[in-house]
Amino acid sequence: MDKDVLIKEAIKIRDKAYVPYSSFPVGAAVLTESGNIYTGCNIENAAYPVSCCAERVAIFKAIANGEKTFQAMAVVADTNRPVPPCGSCRQVMSEFFDAQTTIFLSNLKNQTETLNVEALLPFSFQPGDLSASE
């Protein structure tokens, strides 16, 4: 998997972020098992909680295109450390990605933290937890 390509795609889509309220653009790119890349930026709303993070936009685009398996994701923002995803996005990652799926967290200073879904959200609520008999 090409980490640099994925990060570059996240940086590119970041320019499309709709962030009139936070002025904090974020870009994300997800790589599917078959090699397709889906990108997302954060999209805000005057009703603030309706806003959606870049990570979820990228993942939902991939899911809406019928993708089922993922290799990696990259997230980029202009932060002093590699950007940490919010809790809601970590939960969405844990729904659709394997625990070992690689996540590249990056910033514009070219600093990248590489970790996996399990490390980002340990002991996460899983679909299997909905039924005690399964």
Q: Where do we find the tokens 């070219």?
A: 110
**Contact criterion met (CB below 8 Å) for 45 and 78:** no
Our answer to whether residue 55 is catalytic in this structure is yes
Rounded to 5°, the CA angle 79-83-87 comes to 135
Q: Where do we find the tokens 């990108």?
A: 39
Q: Where do we find the tokens 């940086």?
A: 11
Task: Mark 52-81 with x for binding to ligand THU (rule: CB under 6 A) and - for no binding.
Answer: -xxx-------------------x------
* Cα→Cα distances 93→33, 40, 71, 76, 78, Å: 15, 14, 12, 16, 22
In angstroms, what is the minimal distance from the CB of 54 to ligand THU? 4
Residues 11-30, interacting with ligand THU (CB under 6 A): 19, 22, 24, 26
Of the residues 9, 44, 55, 67, only one is catalytic, namely: 55
Judged by CB under 6 A, does residue 44 bind ligand THU?
yes
The candidate with the shortest Cα–Cα distance to 32, out of 85, 68, 3, 74, is: 68
- Whose Cβ is closer to ligand THU: residue 37's or residue 56's? 56
Task: Mark 83-112 with x for binding to ligand THU (rule: CB under 6 A) and - for no binding.
Answer: x-xx--x-----------------------
- Whose Cβ is closer to ligand THU: residue 50's or residue 132's? 50
Which parts of this chain interact with ligand THU (CB under 6 A)? 19, 22, 24, 26, 42, 44, 51, 53-55, 75, 83, 85-86, 89
